[in-house]
Homo-oligomer: A and B are copies of this chain.
Amino acid sequence: MAGGYSALRNELVSAANGVDYAYRDTGGAAGVPLVLLQHFRGNLDNWDPALIDALASVRRVVTFDNAGVGGSTGTTPDTIEQMARDAIAFLGAMELSQIDLLGFSIGSFVAQQIALVRPALVRRLILASAAPQGAAGMHGWAPEVIGAIGTPNTSPDAYLDVFFAQSASSREAGQEALGRMYARTEDRDTATTWATREAQYDAVCAWGIPDHGLLQRPSAIDMPVFVANGDSDPMILPRYSYLLAGLIPHAQIKIYPDAAHGFLFQHHAAFAADVDAFLTGAG
């Protein structure tokens, strides 16, 4: 794995829905592959290579752009339900019949939907910076969050404000993560568009329309689940991770200290070890 995630080729696979999906495929040890679902406006380059390389040291790891996102063709849908269908189409094209699934932020919404509509596909589920559909207080990001990372042109500082905590230690970790993500200069993924941002945020707001009855949905997620977040995430508050861990029958939870939305990049070694323990059944 010379060069690791930063040096991986962008691949393309054509799915039955007519979309060509951009993806990267690494690791490759035997066993159930781990598939990752990316955050709001993120593409293949927005995964911290340090995290992917740590995860891929013990198993196959697949990252991809969902329909309409980054280097994939098609149109970004404005519902989590359609994003789940589009992700299932990608998995079909990859001939992956059983996976472990890690959804991050909006990706955690899509991951829950996949686990609910195609449970046989998901062996174990990891929900990072997650919330259940319908939870009160989840109707769109807070003003300071959408004001930071929802603008047409975002900045590294705005990214750090949301993905990392205010402490010097977290900010330093954030600078390091950004350095790793931007170290790659060749064959970077296609940037996500404003149309993707608009469609994804419509989906986020629709997912967050308060509806107490919908909180019953996670009770049907019956595979083992690992719920994780940073202790000071301003984008999806840790209380929603507690809520998920309470609503899902077989969930474990860990809240990482001194960390925000990007806790999994900041604590990449610890989180990868926790994920491995969970996926091997030791967690």
Chain B residues in 8 Å Cβ range of A251: 239, 242
Q: Copies per complex?
A: 2
| Chain B residues, Cβ within 8 Å of A93 | none
A239 CB contacts on chain B under 8 angstroms: 245-246, 249, 251
Inter-chain CA distance A243–B135, complex, in Å, is 12
Whether, in the assembled complex, A173 has its beta carbon less than 8 Å from a beta carbon of chain B, the answer is no
Closest to A137 in B: B249
Does A7 have its Cβ within 8 Å of any Cβ on chain B?
Answer: no
**Chain-B contact segment, one of A34-42, A163-171, A208-216:** A208-216
> A213: which B residues are within 8 A, CB to CB?
212-213
The secondary-structure label for the interface of chain A is helix
**A272 within 8 A of partner (CB):** no
Contacts of A246 in B (CB 8 A): 135, 239-247
Task: Using C-beta atoms within 8 Å of the partner chain, give the interface range for chain A.
Answer: 20 to 34
Complex Cα spacing A136 to B212, Å: 15
Check if A155 is an interface residue, CB within 8 A of chain B.
Answer: no
Could you tell me the distance between the alpha carbons of A204 and B135 in the complex, rounded to whole angstroms? 27
CA distance A70 to B47 in the complex (A): 60
Q: Which of A212, A213, A246 has the most CB of B within 10 A?
A: A246
CB distance from A268 to the nearest CB of B (A): 24
Complex Cα distance, B245 from A186, in Å, reads 46
Q: Judge if A219 is at the interface, Cβ distance under 8 Å.
A: yes
Whether A136 lies near B243 (C-beta < 8 A) is: no
Report the bound CA distance from A135 to B212 in whole Å.
13
Compute how far the CA of A51 lies from the CA of B247 in the bound complex, rounded to whole angstroms. 31
A136: chain B residues at CB < 8 Å are 219
Residues of B within 8 A of A249 (CB): 137, 239
Query: Given A215-B215, A242-B245, A246-B247, 12 other A-B contacts at CB below 8 A?
Result: A137-B249, A212-B213, A212-B216, A213-B213, A239-B245, A239-B246, A240-B246, A241-B246, A242-B251, A243-B245, A243-B246, A245-B246
Across the A-B interface, the 8 shortest Cβ-Cβ residue pairs:
A243-B246, A242-B246, A242-B245, A242-B242, A212-B216, A239-B246, A246-B246, A136-B219
